[in-house]
């Protein structure tokens, strides 16, 4: 692993942490997960298994530390690695067939839906910590988070892509 890439990934996780920490909870202490957008951006910029796994566990651990949702600690530790692998596999499937900006936005929306589904399933059905129904929480928290993450990706990805090309840190996919 290259130190420059690890530094960039650490910055993305840090930005995601700040976003995750400052977003207020919407329903039953569940926050929209803005950290996902940064995890997805890191996966898109550096699509290698070792970086994906590192991002997944770092993001999961920090999300678990900053969550206010009942049972969110365990749910985040399960959700982030599964979501990162699913996102990475989807990215590998479609990256050559679509415009990268479109791919990043569509996959961010889909990845947030996957993450929210896994998180809510773990917290509601396996742990039984959250109050409320899956559909209510999905509609009130996951869908707005998916829209917010997609907007973040639409704004941030072209900027980061331009910076990466000019700095020649690594090849942008």
| Residue pLDDT, tens place only, 59-95 | 999 988 888 777 788 989 999 999 999 999 999 999 8
**What pTM was estimated for this model as a whole?**
0.89
Residue 37: predicted pLDDT: 92
DSSP 113-173: HHHHHHHHHIIIIIS----S-HHHHIIIIIHHHHHHHHHHHHHHHHHHHHHHHHHTSS---
Band (3; pLDDT cuts 50, 70, 90): confident
What the block records as the tokens of 169 is: 């840190």
pLDDT above 90: residue 98: no
- Cβ–Cβ < 8 Å for 161, 100: yes
Q: Is the dihedral of CA 75, 145, 86, 37 positive or negative?
A: negative
- Cβ–Cβ < 8 Å for 37, 154: no
């Amino acid at each position: 692993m290259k130190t420059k890439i690890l530094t960039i990934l650490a910055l993305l996780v840090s930005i995601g942490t700040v976003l995750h920490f400052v977003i207020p909870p919407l329903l039953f202490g569940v926050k929209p997960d803005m950290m996902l957008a940064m995890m997805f951006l890191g996966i898109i910029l550096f699509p290698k298994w070792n970086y994906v796994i590192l991002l997944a566990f770092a993001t999961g651990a920090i999300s678990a530390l900053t969550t206010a949702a009942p049972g969110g600690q365990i749910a985040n530790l399960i959700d982030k690695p599964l979501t990162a692998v699913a996102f990475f596999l989807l990215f590998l499937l479609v990256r050559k067939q679509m415009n990268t900006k479109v791919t990043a936005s569509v996959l961010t929306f889909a990845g947030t839906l996957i993450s929210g589904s896994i998180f809510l399933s773990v917290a509601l059905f396996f742990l039984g910590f959250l109050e409320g129904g899956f559909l209510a929480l999905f509609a009130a928290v996951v869908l707005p988070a998916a829209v917010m993450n997609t907007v973040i990706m639409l704004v941030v990805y072209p900027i980061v892509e331009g910076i990466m090309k000019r700095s020649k840190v690594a090849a942008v996919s």
